[in-house]
Amino acid sequence: MLKNVPLMIGLRYIRAKRRTQFISFVSGFSLLGMALGVMALIVVLSVMNGFDREMKSRVLQVVPHGFIEQPNGIDDWQALRQNVLQHPDVVGAAPSINGYALASSARRTTGIEYAAVEPTLQPEVSQVARSMILGDLEQLQPGRFGIVLGVLLARQLGVMPGDKVTVTLPEVRITPAGVYPRAKRFEVIGVFEVGAPVDQRMALLHLDDMQRLLRLSAPTGLQVEVNDIYQTGRVLAQLQSEMATDLQQNMTLTDWSHSQGSLFQAVKMEKMIVGILLSTIIAVAAFNIVSSLVLMVSDKRSDIAVLRTMGLTSGQVIKIFMVQGVGVGLLGITIGGVLGVLVALNISALVSAIETMVGLKVFDPSVYFISEIPSQLYLSDVFIICLAAFILSLLATCYPAWRAGQIQPAEALRYE
């Protein structure tokens, strides 16, 4: 019977009315703070996960999953492509030449990341053909010197299909008149939009035109598409071990995390920083639990003394107030967890309803890459948040409960 006394009394103290309203206010405020902190963390991390998912899916519509590169050119790239396609996890492969250059129009000059591709094979490794909003990728014909630009890049340069863009490569040519940078005028034949940062810097050229401009006899890379983007590194490692004899000495195999890793690392860092900052809400709620328990111990000194005289030990008194503090914390965590999951699963509909009521657009599609708030709820995030909040609640009860256990009955009852 005595073993259940701390649990029974602790739960009763949670429900009981306080003689001092201020104690009830602090206790309720700590419960509310814990619920809001847990809910905010779940919702914000779900939104950050949604942004990460949208960014990866959109960027990798244009950027291939893996690259096999040879700076001097892959002479027999057709045979290498056939060997790569024999891997069960590879769904496509296409030749390319990738690099950086300057693009100039009558209005502006800006840096670009170009990819010289073969239009007939590019759909195997990229969805850019489906993302064309002006023109057609098949209009990239050898000898025409056409170029396809991302929508934001075309907007920066102020060009439309039919306009001319000068592409200047980071190489020079020596002529009798002097040293000049290697440059060529290209005709804009199309514009694509995937709703990602690649719209600001990506340009597509025909493989034959770039080989002629760079004086290469073969493409310098082979783009690879796999079934699961998160297994690209493993697939490339298997290709490197299985095709050791087919790969030339200077060939390098890299995946999308090398070319786009900084972007996704920045998103991951933002998620971590935002999580740490929002965790302060839970920490403040835990401090409120400390305050409410300290006041509660002061308010219940006579009750503690009576319980001690009835046979309760100091350890059992400590357990009473730990049950009370943890109970308040668990109640707040439960409420916050349920609300956080519900909001995270329905945040797009909620924001759309608020936009309809207010008449404003949270994410303007002409400014941002997205038109609605994405959300991806992971149960692992919910578990970690609730566990961290529970640990903070448990730690918050230690000092006030210890103080309660140190109260001596004679001292507490002296002036009663």
Give residue-wise pLDDT tens across range 203-262. Answer: 999 999 888 888 888 888 888 888 877 788 888 888 877 776 556 556 788 887 776 666
CA separation for the pair 333, 40 (Å, rounded): 11
Residues with Cβ < 8 Å from 250, sequence gap 6 or more?
70, 71, 72
pLDDT surpassing 60 at residue 314: yes
- Of residues 346 and 313, the one with the higher pLDDT is 346
Residue 221 has φ and ψ, to the nearest 5°, of -150, 165
Q: pLDDT tens-digit profile of 267-304?
A: 777 778 877 887 777 787 777 777 777 777 676 666 66
Mean pLDDT of 181-195: 86
Q: What is the pLDDT of residue 191?
A: 92
CA separation for the pair 12, 356 (Å, rounded): 46
pLDDT surpassing 50 at residue 180: yes
pLDDT surpassing 50 at residue 398: yes
Mean pLDDT (the chain) is 79
Q: Which one of 9-23, 64-78, 90-104, 306-320 scores highest in mean pLDDT?
A: 90-104
Mean pLDDT of 113-129: 87
**Other beta carbons less than 10 A from residue 31's beta carbon:** 24
Contact 113, 149 (CB under 8 A): no
CA separation for the pair 336, 40 (Å, rounded): 8
- Of residues 63 and 43, the one with the higher pLDDT is 43
Between strands 221-226 and 202-206, the pairing is unpaired
Q: What is the pLDDT of residue 11?
A: 64
Q: What is the pLDDT of residue 205?
A: 92
Mean pLDDT of 84-111: 88
pLDDT surpassing 80 at residue 152: yes
Q: What is the pLDDT of residue 249?
A: 59
Phi-psi region of 235 (alpha: psi -120 to 50; beta: other; left: phi over 0): alpha
Token readout for 308 is 């001690």
pLDDT surpassing 90 at residue 338: yes
Mean pLDDT of 316-344: 85
- pLDDT-based confidence at residue 132 (cuts at 50, 70, 90): confident
Q: Which one of 56-65, 109-118, 371-380 scores highest in mean pLDDT?
A: 109-118
Token readout for 182 is 């290697």
Q: What is the pLDDT of residue 230?
A: 77
pLDDT surpassing 50 at residue 1: no
